[in-house]
Amino acid sequence: MELTSKSHTLGLGSGLQDVKQTGPLAYLRRRSTYDWIFLALIAGGDAYVLSRYGQDMNYYVKLIFLGATTSLLFLGWGWTAIKNLAIAVAVLSLFGIWLYNGPAGVPVLARGEQNFFLKYFLSSQTAIMWMAFLFFLSTASYWVGMFTGPAQSLAGGTMTAGGPVSEGAMIRDGRGWQSNFPQLFGSRLAWVGITMALVGTMMRWFESYLIGADVGHIPLSNLYEVFVLFSWLTTALYLYFEYKYKTRSMGAFAMLVVSAAVVFLLWFSFAQSGYVIQPLVPALQSWWMKIHVPANFIGYGTFAIAAMVGFAYLIKAHATTTSLWKLAPLWLLGFTMFFEPMVFRQGGISEYWGVFAGISALIVGGILYGRKRIAMHLPSMEVMDDVMYKSIAIGFTFFTIATILGAMWAAEAWGGYWSWDPKETWALIVWLNYAAWLHMRLMKGLRGQVAAWWALTGLLVTTFAFLGVNMFLSGLHSYGKL
């Protein structure tokens, strides 16, 4: 009795237990053996890179490198899939680098066309083509799952013989998460696609140095390289939401924008020879590029996810609508989402982009035609609304960081933080758009179809800031023109 009363009086018992389960020591105690192996691998890799290449890295590059590997460590500790991804990419990239060694043990670029594994799997261009194929196949698998998996009621929840099951119960017992094989397969394909994209990126980085020490650079410098970054980064960000919310059906929409990016990548790769590794222009020869560009594309990727989830939200909201005039804006905007500005360039529609526009129209029309069946496979509106909010909140944070970093880079390169260059102006427009969205969400309780329409149209603004400025406007960023 005495111990019980003391525990109650002092707030011991569950309170002490809660304290013990939080804090740095408790966090470390929760680490698995796999976590500690991952730490050892990262620490060993850091030590090797710094000992061998440290003399060629300035203070800022070392700081970026250690910051990146530390971030990777904590991401891996929080999400096992990241550990698996990092180890797979490291093993395949090191194997590819080893295959480039010639008879004398000296890396030779020509081996990319001579060695079987390099030519068909691991050279940068081949790995990126595998990425493209896998992302297309992943998108198709997600859509197959939309029509073959367990259906949900339009209010949210799975339809069973005994009636609808609540979404909360579905998440708790795993139904609708692991049972839809095509979407599970699509998710696995997406992870393999990310792996090949990162292997291709690592190999392209290595190959740039084989061309020449003055050519070598991290592959973040032109539209080809950043579209690879956008494709795998957007996919990885979506897979995080898939993992967090235990639902895969949003992948059918999220992967559409990734597939659209891959279509542009393929066009730019072959029609414009964008895959050719070129030396950096003077404006990009800076360590600022290593942090500004990834932060920017986390913003672009999450804004794209928010837009596509907004599209899915509107599909569910209009699932039972029979009035064509109410669907017309959704059809036009959805079509525009995939209708790249390139089709209007140079006085007409090219054959490539004409086919792309036609397929886009069929996809959007098919989605609207099958909206009721599709809606029954989507998660609840509350879940999609929350994903939109979280995506825009994350994207806005990183886009803000990227804008600040860009201003600091501009001050170093051009002598001023802001010059109202078209790229800077449109970046500000994008920032203000999502700042207003978040303000209305947090201060005025913005929800529902208005939020979804805003998120969807916001991607058009973002796309013009990213691509349209490069196509139609000039300025200090003219090195990025098509």
Q: What does the alpha-carbon distance between residue 217 and residue 14 come to, in Å, rounded to a whole number?
A: 54
* Mean pLDDT of all residues belonging to the chain: 85
Mean pLDDT for 40-50 is 96
The pLDDT score that the predictor gives to residue 14 is 43
105's CB contacts (< 8 A; 6+ apart) are: none
What is residue 125's predicted lDDT score, i.e. its pLDDT?
95
pLDDT tens, position by position, 51-75: 999 998 999 999 999 999 999 999 9
pLDDT digits (tens, 9 = 90+) for 323-338: 666 666 766 666 665 5
CA distance 258 to 255: 5
Angle between helix 251-270 and helix 351-369 axes, rounded to 10 deg: 170
Average pLDDT over residues 247-260: 95
- Global pTM reads 0.89
Locate all alpha helices (DSSP H) within 370-421, ordered by sequence.
371-375, 381-414
Residue pLDDT, tens place only, 443-462: 999 999 999 999 999 998 99
Would you say 287 and 170 are in contact if contact means Cβ atoms under 8 Å apart?
A: no
Place of tokens 């990025």: 480
Those residues whose C-beta lies under 8 Å from the C-beta of residue 331, and which sit 6 or more positions away, are 364, 365, 368
Cα–chain center distance at 15? 40
